[in-house]
Structure 1
Amino acid sequence: MKKHIIFLLALVVFFNCKNESTNNTDLSSNNKSQKTTEKAEFAIIIHGGAGTILKKNMTPEREASFKAKLEEAIRVGHNILKNGGSSLDAVEKTINVMEDSPLFNAGKGAVFTHAETNELDASIMDGRTLNAGASAGTTTVRNPINLARAIMEKSNHVMLSGKGAETFAEEQGLTLVEPDYFFTESRFNGLKRVKEKQAKIEKNTDTESALINFYNEDIQNSKFGTVGCVALDKNGNIVAGTSTGGMTNKRYGRIGDAPIIGSGTYANNATCGVSSTGWGEYFIRAQVAHDISALIEYKGLSLQEAAKIVLDKVKALGGDGGIVALDKNGSMVAEFNTAGMYRAQMNDKGELNIGIYEKE
C-alpha cells in the first residue's frame, strides 16, 4: 500500500514539474517576443503642411522642388542624430531649412495677414524635461523656432508674443530682419486674390451664410505650409517643434495651434512626440498633440491608433489637417485627413521616405 502511495505521489510531482516547466517555457517565449520588439536607435520625421494638395494642380518642377527641400531638411537633422547629436539640435536645424525656404508657410515663405504683414508663430518641446517654449505674432525674427528654443532654455516663461518676444530675441542675440524680408510675391498675390473675392461677395450679398462659406473656403485654401519636425536621439530623448506664418488674411492678431503646447506641439519621452498642421482653431479645441500622447499613456494604444482617433475627432468637429509623430521606440506616423501633406521620414538605417499626396 505504501508503495502505491509513493508511486502516486511521484506521478503528481512529475506532472506538476512538467506543467511548471511548460509554463516557464511559455513565459520565456513571451518575454523573448517582447524583448525582440525592434527599437530604433534614432529617427526623424517632418511635415511641410497639409491641405487640398492635388497632383493635378502641381507641376512636375514644383513637385520636385518640394521633395528636394524636404529631403534637404530631413537629412540635416538625420546627420545630427546619426553623429550622436541631440534631438533638440536636430529639430531646430531641420526646421531652419524649411523656415529659410519660400516654399513653406513658415519663416521666409510666411503668408500675409489682412493688414498685409507677416506674423509668425513657433513652438518646441523637450520630451525629457517636459520643458517648452513658444512665440507668437513676431514680425522681425528670422527663425521663430530659434526664438521658441531660447524662450524654453533661457526664460522663466513658456510663451512670449509680439514686441516683447522680439525684444527678448534681440537680447538673446538671435538674427533679426526687416519685416520686408518675409515678402514673397506669390504669397502677396494670394492675399490679393482672397481680398478681391471677399470684396466681391460682400458687395453682392448680405447673407450671413454666403460670408461664412467664403471664410470657410478661405481657410481651406490658406493653411498650407506650416512646418514641423519630431526627432528621437540615441539617448532616447524626443523633441517636437512647429513653425508657421498662420493663415492668409488672418485678422486681429489671430493665433493658431502651432505655438500652443499640447495642440500644435507636444513631446514626452514616456510616450511620443507630435507636430500638427491644419485648421488651428479645431486642433486647439481637440488638443491634438497632447491627446495622442494621452491615449498612448492612459489607454495603451499604439501611435497609429491614437493618431487616427484624434484626427477623426478633429474631422467630426469640422476641421482637417494632419500630424507627424514618433514614439519612444522610434515608430513613425504621418496621419492626415486631407488630400495631401508634405512629409518625409528617415530611420536609423538611413531609409528615406518622402510623400506629398494621399496615395504615397
Structure 2
Amino acid sequence: MNKTFKIYAVIFIIILIVMGMFEMNKKPVLDWRKNFNTEKKTPFGLYVFDQESNGLFHQKLEKARVSPYEYYSKKEQKKPHNILIIQKEIDDVSWEFLMNEVYNGSDVMLFSNKIPKKIGDSLGFKTGILSFEDNYYLQLTDKKLVNNRLFIDKLPDNYGFSYIQKDMEILGKSLYKSSKNKTSTQANFIKINFGDGHFYFHSEPLVLTNYYLLNSKNRYLESVLSYLPDRETVWFVETDAPLSMSSMRFILSNPPLQYAWYLLLFGLIVFVIFNAKRKQRIVPITEPLKNTSVDFIRSIGNLYLQEGDFHEMMAKKAQYFLSKIRMDLLIDTQNLDEQFINKLHLKTGKKIELIKEAVELIKKGQNPYASVMKEDLIRMNKLLDDILK
C-alpha cells in the first residue's frame, strides 16, 4: 500500500465520521405524503387500519392483491359479499365485474377522491372540490350516529359530491365554517341502489389513515363500515412490488448509510480515474481489415475457368445482369420476351440487334441442357458489359 493511497483512505474516513455526526444530530423529517400504503407507518399510510381490519370485519376479511378483473374472472360465481376499495385505480374492465357483482347482491364500499368520471356518469353523480377550507367535520346523517363525527385538520382534499340523483341516499356530510362563522354542508358519503346490491361512495379516504385513526376520539370509521352487512368482505389492496430483504435495501433505506454508500462509490471512482491516468497502458495500433472481395471473386472465377464449366459461368453472369436490370432500370425480368427487349432498348439506347443476341445467350446460359462453348461465354460477357455501360 503506497503513501498516496493511505492519505486518500484517511481523508475518506474523516469525511465519513463528520457526516455521521451531522446525521446523528439531524431530526427525522415526517413524511406527510398520501401514500395509502398498508406497510407505511407514516401519517397517511394504512398500517393501523391494516392491523385492525380483521377485527373490524369480524374475522371475515379476505385481502386480494390483484385487480377485480383478475380476481373474479378466475372464480366461479360467488355468493353476495362485501367489497372494500381504498384510493385504488380501477380499470374499466374491473369496473364491469364490480357492477355485475353488485347487481347480483354484493355491496361495494369505495373510499376515494378519484372516482372515474365514467362511473359517475353511468350511476348518476358528479364529484369535485367543494371548498378550500383548511379544516372541516365529517358527520353522518343518521341521528343515532350524528355524534360520531371526525375533525379533518391535516391536508384535507375538500372533495365531495356536487350532484346526485334524487333516488340516492346521503349518509354523510362535510360541515364547513366560513370566515363569517356560517356553516355549510356538502355530501361526502352516499348510497346508491344497483340491482340487488348497493354502492357506498365516500369521498374522503383520509379517515382510514394512521393519523386520523390514532387521533380519533369517537367511532366514526366503525359507524361508516357498519353500513356493510356482517358477511364475507373482499378488500382489494393496492399492490406493490415485493420488498427485497437484502443488505443493500437496508443501507439505502437509512439516510446516513445511504450517504456513506454514495460517498464510498464516489471516492472509488475518483481513485480509479487518477490511478488509470498514471498507469494506462499504450494502446497498440491495429491495421484495418483489408477488403478481399475482389480477390475472392477473382479466385472463384479462376476456379470455374480451370474446371472449364462455361455453362455455370454464363448462368452466373446472366443472373448478375438481370439483377442489375431490375435494380437500376426497374424492368421486370421474369419474361425475356419482345416486350422486355423493347424496354431494355428504350432505356439503354443500345441497338436492338445486340440486345436480342444477348437475350438469346442469356436463355442459353439459363438452360441446363444447352451446349455451351467458351466462345459463347466470351461473346455474352462482352455484350452484357456493353449494354450496362
Q: TM-score, normalised by structure 1?
A: 0.22
Q: Which has the higher contact order (CA 8 A, sep 6+)?
A: 1
Larger radius of gyration: 2
Task: Answer 1 or 2: which has greater strand percent.
Answer: 1
Give the structure-2-normalised TM-score. 0.21
